[in-house]
Amino acid sequence: MHVGVVGLGKMGSAIARNLLARGYQVSVWNRTREAAEALAADGATPRASIEELVPAVDVAIVMLWGDEVAREVTLGRVIPATPASGLVIEMSTLSPGMYETLENAADRRGVAFLAAPVLGSVNLAQEGSLTILAGGREEAFERARTLLNALGTTVTYTGSVGASGYLKLANNTVIGVVADTLAELLAVCERAGVDRRLAIESVSSAFGRIANSKTQQLLNRDSEPRFSLNALLKDLLLAREAAKSVHAEMPILDCVLPAIQNAAERGLGDRDYIAVALEPA
């Protein structure tokens, strides 16, 4: 399979190198020639333009920054240059609406299209160990399956392109929430004189442990109490008071508390705290 990679930032370059290491024929294009020339040393074929690259390959992978660039490059150049037999895989993180716009444009040309945003770092991209959330028409997914398996160890078919977008953004929102929550909680522990390593190890491990323990309950819509919402509310109020005692602010907790209090007032207090997710206000 001859694969074209459009956009050679850190992730695009890593994807191209992974494919080259696996024996794929790879053509590349980037706005700046330096990135393409660096990949040429690894065996890629730089192309002078998108319009030269896309008709020459079996599949075009696009990895760009966001909606504005995708509108200009994928919508304005890649899809119009793709022959009806071609396949475009948009791996950039875009809004769900932009994925739908691109799919509609591809449909009008008879071009197969997948939205396939990824979860993972540059190192994982170069190893072919990404998590890929691929959405689009099922026949396009099946056509791309072998290639996607070369790029990721976990490849999930999401159904629609919009679903891929929402899932990707949901995952990255978790990253933001976790990072900010870690900052808040570690600051409280530091002010209280807790050993830094102990605080980091204890608080960090809590995220994975809690998420994993609640997966089946969420799937089964099971709110039988393991740890009640009332007990959680009591402890969160204690946490806020503890933070005040060391003159630490907890803005995330201040945002969470009203939702927990509201859930208790709605009669969920004796249920498992996961009822907040199962029965949102």
Q: Give the model's pLDDT for residue 208.
A: 87
DSSP 140: H
Q: Which residues contact 224 (CB under 8 A, 6 or more apart)?
A: 271, 272
Query: Three-state SS for 95?
Result: coil
Non-local (6+) Cβ contacts of 166 within 8 A are: 96
Statement: the pTM of the whole predicted model exceeds 0.85: yes
Structure tokens at 162: 């919009």
State how far the Cα of 22 lies from the Cα of 151, in Å rounded to an integer: 10
Strands (E) in the chain, as ranges, are 2-6, 25-29, 45-46, 59-62, 87-90, 112-115, 118-119, 130-136, 152-159
pLDDT score, position 113: 98
Residue 74, both tokens = 């994928």
Q: Give me the average pLDDT of each 10-residue run along the chain (281 residues).
A: 97 98 98 94 96 97 96 98 96 97 98 98 97 98 98 98 97 95 97 97 93 93 96 96 96 96 97 96 85
What does the pLDDT look like over 115-173, one tens digit per residue?
A: 999 999 999 999 999 999 999 999 999 999 999 999 999 999 999 999 999 999 999 99
CA distances from 107 to 13, 66, 87, 162, 251 (A): 28, 21, 11, 15, 46
Domains annotated for the chain, with CATH where assigned, are 2-161 (3.40.50.720), 192-278 (1.10.1040.10)
Long-range contacts of 74-81 (CB under 8 A, 24+ apart): 74/6, 74/102, 75/101, 75/102, 75/105, 77/50, 77/51, 78/6, 78/50, 78/54, 79/105, 79/106, 79/109, 79/111, 79/113, 80/109, 81/50, 81/51, 81/54, 81/55
